[in-house]
Structure 1
Amino acid sequence: MKRWIAIGAALTLGLAACSDPSAAPEAGSGAVTWADPTAKLDGVKLVIWAAQNSNTVPTSVVDAFQQATGATVEVVTVPDPYEQSVQTKVATGDKPDLAFWQPTASMLTAINARTNLQPLTDAPWLSSLDPALKDITGLLDGTRYAALVTSPAVEGVYYNKEVFAAQGITATPKNFDEMITLARSLKAAGVTPFHEMGADRWATQWWVQIQLADAARAGLWDRINSGQAKFTDPDVVRTIETYDGLIREGLFNSDIKTARFEDQGTALLDGKAAMVVQVNSFFGQLQAKADTATLDERIGFFPISPSGNVGTFIPDQSNALVAFKTGDAQREAAARQLLAYWMGPGYQAFITDRNTVSLETAVPSPAGVPKALLDVHAALPTAVGSMQALAVANPDLYINLADMIAGTMTPQQVAAATQDQFVQLAKAAGYLK
């Protein structure tokens, strides 16, 4: 959910403590030793920070690790807004042993990874990961700081199979233009093609980012990072104008300005809308509303981009953990050991408990994982990075787009405001002069 929007003032706070990104890593940030995952840790206490939507993720694996090693592990829920709260705590010297954290370069920079985090470059489970996922995220300037534990989110289209079938639609769109053509035919038949949550705002940016997937593959975010390209360039502005035009055309729910995240799930599940452009957390909402059999019957997923069925990946804080440098060598080693247990002997039980997709080639996904989630995961090997994954800073694009939906900004103003904030944040991080 909101785990992709921790930027603005909070990111500036985190960057204020950051070192120059061009500086060499500090001494001692190289390879570390890894204990046996089940080695005894009697008397050792570890603290994991988690958000309100990730605090139950580690429950089963923490219980098993405590039984196997004798360690004590406490999961502490940090209040929302999670990323801002964590950055504030860390800036004052308050650090846990481990924390859930968005494993993107921009958010690793925001947490000042070189100074605050343990490197995980030589982690023993990396060779077990699906090769397509091993280096998809968690890296900053070539050093691994985050351990991916669940499948990263993908921006794409969730659709109601029954609505499609009722309209005689037997195949999903093969590119963005085909999707819009299909949407227009649905509208002509009296069906609401798309549902958007303008009031909760954070998902509005997916519509721009899926249109930029091909450009992202061609290096758009590298060019924006270096100042060679801007959000105000015609190709980027055009994606915002397209989104605005589709809304004005009436291809979205009539209550788009006031609709919320919860409304999206209800609308799609009940067939009141045919499609929703969203990420994995949206499916989590659907799972809370219906059982797997119902979801498999009603809900499908396809990735989309201008050129084809290309997804845009966007890992969030519930997907990964980081281990902090606390200054206590025993606890630092124990934190690494917990990660090694999690992704080693404890991994099969963990994904079974979470009923989620396996990241490791030798560990099968549980039989009860819904088909749509398997399709989301299958999109990852060919997916491209999102703004959050590849940009050095993440401006408030979603807020500006929501203001556009509300009628207080034009597409051009959205682009200009987003560019101005990006420059401010990138300069604070030392990436732009």
Structure 2
Amino acid sequence: MIGKRLVMAAAVAATSALLLAGCSAANPGSSSSSAEVTWNDPTAKLDGVTLTYWTATQTATMADQVIGAFEKATGAKINKVIIPDVYETNAPTKIASGSKPDLATWQPTASVLALLQPKTGLQDLSSAPWMKNLSAGVQKLGQVDGKTYAAFVNTPSVIGMFYNKDVFAKAGITTMPAGFDELLADAKTIKSSTSAAPFFGAVGDSWPTQWWPQVLLAEDAQKGLWDNVNSGKDTFSGPTIQSAITEYKSIVDAGLFNSDNLTSTYNESGPALLNGDAAMVLQISSFTSLLQSTADTATINSKIGWFPISKAGNVGTIIPGGDSALVAPKTGDATKEAAARQFLRFWMETDYKSYIDQANQISIEPSVATPDGVPQVALDASKALDNSVGSMQQLAVVNPDFYVFLADMVHGTKTPEDVGKLTQAQFTQLAKALGIAGF
């Protein structure tokens, strides 16, 4: 589940010092730059070449079909190594101590890529031949300082609102809301005219709380909010983010969530939405997988819809997970580095249709059709990528435990002002640990 795969502040703090101390030894680098790099034919022979591929337990089987096809086509061998949880802590620690893979699954966000020291530790994939074939919303992702270090193989999640069509119909809602004023007006209509909770929260798991302030900040993110936070020009306790925190608290106080919001969990939100006990769930689009665990595609398509939401309109918020992309670390071995690039090219060109058909994944290449069994809500979320902006996880240089403080606020043990101040204090601490300029 992507929500639980998000890197937490403790993981960053635990690895930052090691990486900074060990980056010279662990990042031997290579002489190739994006302009100089060559891309082998996807099926060129690689007899005698063995590549090491690191992955997390949650993504352990993701590439199996591709690996088998690549080995058969090229003669190369792929040594898959499953790194135990927490992957985003243990993998950088192993790299800092001198061990390094040729390929690795990785959460392709600025803060998590930073753990791998991308400028010196990762191959620049900006010139990848398949990049121009990707959907526009994906082409701009996986970048640090304008260079692409992550190869997307799956569509990233988008934060948006899943809704029960029958509940909306009972409440007389026929037009999807544009902005929070219309959203909250619909929520109040649902509360007064149906037995369903307008929104299903899952504060028992804490992490879902962070989506509410983030979608409220989408337009501000488009205007450079996270760049300003990264440079110290703005803060979590500044008026922009503080206003989003306070508005989320006001929605909770208005009684628009399920009565057991404080103890309910993510796993309970899917059945609650399908059964009509709740009208809406604000979640990342991988929530579709939870719906699929209890309902088939036909049922999901008939009962559940999806729309992006933001403070002033319908801007989506992107949050790539650990299953979205791969990186190719620099190892100093030119042959293996080229073979790693060839593997990525094979995945995204030669084998891509076979991969998405076998995995039942949404295609991120418009010329390759998405399999028929993918629910419509997942397709709608994918289409929203082109009018979406990066989340805190995507754009901030480090990710504090925002959700922990927000959950405390909903429980009543912290004020909205506490949330802003505590989150900023942790953000500053982590930025200093990573050596971010200005902190």
TM range (shorter): over 0.9
Could you tell me how far apart the structure 2 residues matched to 1:97 and 1:268 are?
42
Q: Does 1:145 align with 2:149?
A: yes
Work out which of the residue numbers 193, 199, 204 in structure 1 matches 2:198: 193
1:343 aligns with 348
Runs of 4+ aligned residues of structure 1 deviating over 3 Å after TM superposition are 2-5
- Match of 1:30, as an amino acid? S
1:152 Cα shift? Answer: 1.1
1:5 aligns with 6
Could you tell me how far apart the structure 2 residues matched to 1:260 and 1:73 are?
38
Could you tell me how far apart the structure 1 residues matched to 2:388 and 2:180 are?
15
- Match of 1:389, as an amino acid? Q
Could you tell me how far apart the structure 2 residues matched to 1:3 and 1:51 are?
13
Q: Does 1:86 align with 2:87?
A: no
- TM-score, length of structure 2 as denominator length: 0.93
Work out which of the residue numbers 280, 286, 290 in structure 2 matches 1:285: 290
Encode CA deviations 1:271-313: one digit per residue, 9 max, x unaligned: 1111111002211111222111111111111000111111011
2:332 aligns with 327
Could you tell me how far apart the structure 2 residues matched to 1:303 and 1:335 are?
36
Encode CA deviations 1:143-171: one digit per residue, 9 max, x unaligned: 21110111111011011112212322222
Comparing 3-12 with 45-54, greater Cα deviation is found at 3-12
1:29 Cα shift? Answer: 4.7
1:62 aligns with 67
1:318 aligns with 323
Distance 1:284 1:220, change over 3 A: same
Could you tell me how far apart the structure 1 residues matched to 2:182 and 2:438 are?
38
1:296 aligns with 301
Encode CA deviations 1:155-205: one digit per residue, 9 max, x unaligned: 110111122123222222121111111111111123201111112111210
- In structure 1, stretches of 5+ residues that fail to align are none
TM alignment of 1:255-270, pairs within 5 A: 255-270=260-275
- Match of 1:403, as an amino acid? D
- Match of 1:198, as an amino acid? V
2:408 aligns with 403
Q: Does 1:30 align with 2:33?
A: yes
Contact kept? 1:244, 1:411, Cα under 8 Å: yes
Q: Does 1:156 align with 2:135?
A: no
- Match of 2:188, as an amino acid? R
1:28 Cα shift? Answer: 2.1
Work out which of the residue numbers 378, 386, 391 in structure 2 matches 1:381: 386
- Match of 2:425, as an amino acid? D
1:76 Cα shift? Answer: 2.8
Tell me the SS of whatever aligns to 1:163. Answer: helix
1:397 Cα shift? Answer: 0.4
Could you tell me how far apart the structure 2 residues matched to 1:75 and 1:264 are?
34
Work out which of the residue numbers 156, 168, 173 in structure 2 matches 1:169: 173
- Match of 2:169, as an amino acid? A
Could you tell me how far apart the structure 2 residues matched to 1:203 and 1:77 are?
27
Encode CA deviations 1:24-50: one digit per residue, 9 max, x unaligned: x97625132211111122232223222
RMSD: 1.9
Tell me the SS of whatever aligns to 1:343. Answer: helix
Contact kept? 1:14, 1:112, Cα under 8 Å: no
Could you tell me how far apart the structure 2 residues matched to 1:18 and 1:28 are?
22
Work out which of the residue numbers 203, 207, 211 in structure 2 matches 1:206: 211
Could you tell me how far apart the structure 1 residues matched to 2:332 and 2:408 are?
45
Could you tell me how far apart the structure 1 residues matched to 2:58 and 2:269 are?
18
- Match of 2:437, as an amino acid? Y
Contact kept? 1:4, 1:388, Cα under 8 Å: no
2:127 aligns with 122
1:353 Cα shift? Answer: 1.4
Contact kept? 2:156, 2:319, Cα under 8 Å: yes
- TM-score, length of structure 1 as denominator length: 0.94
Contact kept? 1:155, 1:278, Cα under 8 Å: yes
Distance 1:222 1:342, change over 3 A: same
1:131 Cα shift? Answer: 3.1
Contact kept? 1:355, 1:368, Cα under 8 Å: yes
1:251 Cα shift? Answer: 0.9
Tell me the SS of whatever aligns to 2:174. Answer: coil
Distance 1:378 1:133, change over 3 A: same
Could you tell me how far apart the structure 2 residues matched to 1:376 and 1:409 are?
33
Contact kept? 1:18, 1:110, Cα under 8 Å: no
Contact kept? 1:133, 1:359, Cα under 8 Å: yes
Tell me the SS of whatever aligns to 2:155. Answer: coil
Work out which of the residue numbers 307, 314, 321 in structure 1 matches 2:312: 307
**Identity between Structure 1 and Structure 2 (%):** 48
